[in-house]
């Protein structure tokens, strides 16, 4: 029997975004909110660059949480946000069906808050046989401690913890893959701090001066 690749590949993955809404972001204390948003935008750009199916779900949009954050929605204008009542998206038939219908065995999960609306569907998806990867730096908890404990619980249940930059580099893996090279590099340059600065610097140093 062929052993599944230990590496994430675009054809096996789907991105699940849960409750990236301002009303819930107000409660995040596990990292700076702007950093969390920037990381999430980088994650979404990565999914688009590698053509991953994206499932978006929100909750309590009309009464507390508000809609999907506008900067995220701007990247996903054609993706419907699936509204639900349950904190566990896996227990919502519409959301679960949308995820199952992607046909992807590996789920990349990001959301707010880590303690509930991320943890609960991750545990459920694991129980149903999916491989689940939680993008820890695009999830936010009500405190650093509760965020870390939630991550630990998911990891103990079998989830793998990754960052958005690790996901991008793992999906690319070979810089000679020209079909995604330009988009992947642009995301890093714009959003990966010192790494991005280094890439821009290297490009400027290696670009020959214009002839006069």
Active site positions, annotated: 117
Helix (H, G, I), strand (E, B) or coil at 9: coil
Number of neighbours of residue 132 by Cβ within 10 angstroms: 21
Whether residue 135 contacts residue 36, with contact meaning beta carbons closer than 8 Å, is answered with: no
DSSP state of 89: G
Whether residue 15 contacts residue 53, with contact meaning beta carbons closer than 8 Å, is answered with: yes
Provide the pairing of β-strand 13-18 with 106-111. parallel
Length, in residues, of the chain: 212
Phi, psi of 132 (to 5 degrees): -125, 130
The whole-angstrom separation of Cα 83 and Cα 76 is 16
List of residues 6+ apart from 84 with CB closer than 8 A: 57, 58, 59, 92, 94, 95
- Helix, strand, coil percentages, rounded to 5, for the chain: 50, 15, 35
């Amino acid at each position: 029997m062929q052993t599944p690749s230990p590496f994430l590949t675009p054809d096996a993955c789907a991105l699940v975004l849960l409750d990236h809404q301002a009303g819930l972001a107000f409660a995040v204390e596990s990292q700076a909110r702007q950093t969390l948003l920037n990381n999430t935008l980088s994650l979404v750009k990565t999914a688009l660059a590698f053509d991953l199916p994206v499932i978006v779900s929100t909750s309590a949009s009309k009464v507390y949480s508000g809609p999907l954050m506008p900067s995220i929605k701007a990247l996903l204008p054609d993706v419907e946000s699936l509204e639900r009542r349950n904190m566990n998206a896996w227990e919502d038939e519409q959301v679960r069906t949308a995820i199952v219908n992607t046909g992807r065995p590996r789920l990349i999960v990001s959301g707010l808050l880590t303690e509930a609306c991320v943890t609960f569907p991750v545990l459920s998806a694991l129980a149903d046989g999916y491989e689940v990867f939680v993008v820890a730096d695009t999830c936010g908890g009500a405190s650093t401690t509760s965020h870390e404990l939630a991550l630990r619980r998911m990891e103990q249940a079998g989830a793998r913890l990754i960052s958005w930059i690790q996901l991008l580099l793992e999906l690319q893996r070979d810089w000679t893959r020209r079909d995604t090279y330009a988009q992947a590099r642009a995301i890093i340059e714009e959003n990966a701090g010192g790494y991005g600065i280094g890439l821009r610097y290297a490009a400027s140093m290696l670009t020959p001066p214009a002839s006069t």
